[in-house]
Amino acid sequence: MLALEGLEKRYRTGDLALKGVSLEVPAGQVMALIGPSGAGKSTLIRCVNRLIEPTGGRVLLKGQDMTALSARGLRRARRRIGMIFQEYALIERLTVMENVLSGRLGYVGFWSSWFRRFPQADIDAAFGLLDRVGLTPFVDKRADALSGGQRQRVGICRALIQNPDLLLIDEPTASLDPKTSRQIMRLIVELCTERGLAAIINIHDVALAQQFAQRIVGLRLGEVVFDGPPSRLDAGVLTEIYGEEDWSQTVRHASEEGGEDDDEALDPARLAANA
């Protein structure tokens, strides 16, 4: 579905953020991308839809080379890639409905979007998604009036109404409390399963990654240093990705929980680590 071939990004400052990353993400797979700050996680997902221009390598989405597209072709391709952001990146002063419908911008003409005259099918889809995430009573509320978890749900709706093949998710839980984080992650994974979507999730929280992703890729200094199922993540691997640290707490829970999640069974130590 998505294939990265020797993806490379050198910033104008000379920093090599991605050193030829090659990855393949099959349809329907939820992949977590972990790694320390500055490892290139954010750069990697932004190179996929060229919010950041890669300086080398190729990005193939369903066989189409993203890096070779014209401006118009790129806009068309971006419609099939939903994105969910850290701190939500909602348009704060617009309503929930306008935010969700903004996911359709690539499909409607300028004047339709200017006058907010979206096709009825889009409005139906928006209501469907808002029903699904339980935000229908808030359609005409301004986005900045919502709580963190509610905002991220709007962000999820905005990405899904694009009818994407792929979701790029950048630190979706970075500003959420542990319980809301788990609810949001569960929602994302459920929706991906329902719709057969592939997803790349950048995430700092190793425990969350283990709990929700089918596959984990570890990035360090712009290189893939681990690629495998969550069960193979152990102290050695974490040391490889992040460097030396006492990982015994982090991995012990992974083996105990075995991927099963339960909000009430949260370990206080892990809650503290998340806070």
Partner 1 sequence: MPEAVAARRWRPPPLIANPWLRHGLMIGAAIYLYLAINSVPVNWPRIVMGLERGAAFVAGFLSPDFVSRYDEIFEGLLESVIMTVIATVIGIALSVPVALGAARNLAPRPVYYFCRFIIASARTFQEVIIAILFVKMFGFGVLAGVATISFATIGFMAKLLAEDIEAIEPSQAEAVRATGASWLQWLNFGIQPQVLPRFIGLSLYRVDINFRESAVVGIVGAGGIGATLKTAFDRYEYGVAAAILILIIAIVMACEYSSSWIRRRVQ
Residue ranges that bind partner 1, judged by CB under 8 A: 49, 51, 75-79, 81, 83, 85-87, 89-94, 98, 102-107, 110, 113-114, 155, 158, 162, 168
The CB-of-105 to partner 1 minimum distance in angstroms stands at 4
For residues 171 and 46, give the distance between their C-alpha atoms in angstroms, rounded to a whole number. Answer: 13
The CB-of-272 to partner 1 minimum distance in angstroms stands at 29
The alpha helices in 84-173, defined as continuous H runs, are 96-101, 110-114, 120-133, 148-160
DSSP-derived pairing of the beta strands 56-61 and 64-65: antiparallel
The CB-of-123 to partner 1 minimum distance in angstroms stands at 16
Comparing CB distances to partner 1, the nearer of 58 and 79 is 79
The CB-of-93 to partner 1 minimum distance in angstroms stands at 4
The CB-of-113 to partner 1 minimum distance in angstroms stands at 5
Comparing CB distances to partner 1, the nearer of 174 and 273 is 174
> What is the per-residue DSSP string for 1-35?
-EEEEEEEEE-TTS-EEEEEEEEEE-TT-EEEEE-
In this structure, the dihedral spanned by the alpha carbons of residues 58, 60, 66 and 68, taken in order and rounded to 10 degrees, is: 60
Comparing CB distances to partner 1, the nearer of 89 and 123 is 89
For residues 135 and 96, give the distance between their C-alpha atoms in angstroms, rounded to a whole number. Answer: 9
Comparing CB distances to partner 1, the nearer of 101 and 251 is 101
Q: How far is CA 97 from CA 70, 92, 129, 146, 161, in A?
A: 31, 12, 11, 13, 11
Comparing CB distances to partner 1, the nearer of 171 and 238 is 171
**Which residue in the block uniquely carries the two structure tokens 């979007």?**
113
The alpha helices in 71-116, defined as continuous H runs, are 71-78, 96-101, 110-114
Comparing CB distances to partner 1, the nearer of 83 and 197 is 83
The CB-of-116 to partner 1 minimum distance in angstroms stands at 10
**Residue 108 CA, distance from chain mean position:** 24
Comparing CB distances to partner 1, the nearer of 60 and 94 is 94
The CB-of-84 to partner 1 minimum distance in angstroms stands at 9
DSSP summary character for residue 244:
S
For residues 59 and 66, give the distance between their C-alpha atoms in angstroms, rounded to a whole number. Answer: 5
Q: Put residue 161 in one of left, alpha, beta given phi > 0 → left and psi -120 to 50 → alpha.
A: alpha
Comparing CB distances to partner 1, the nearer of 79 and 253 is 79
The CB-of-96 to partner 1 minimum distance in angstroms stands at 13
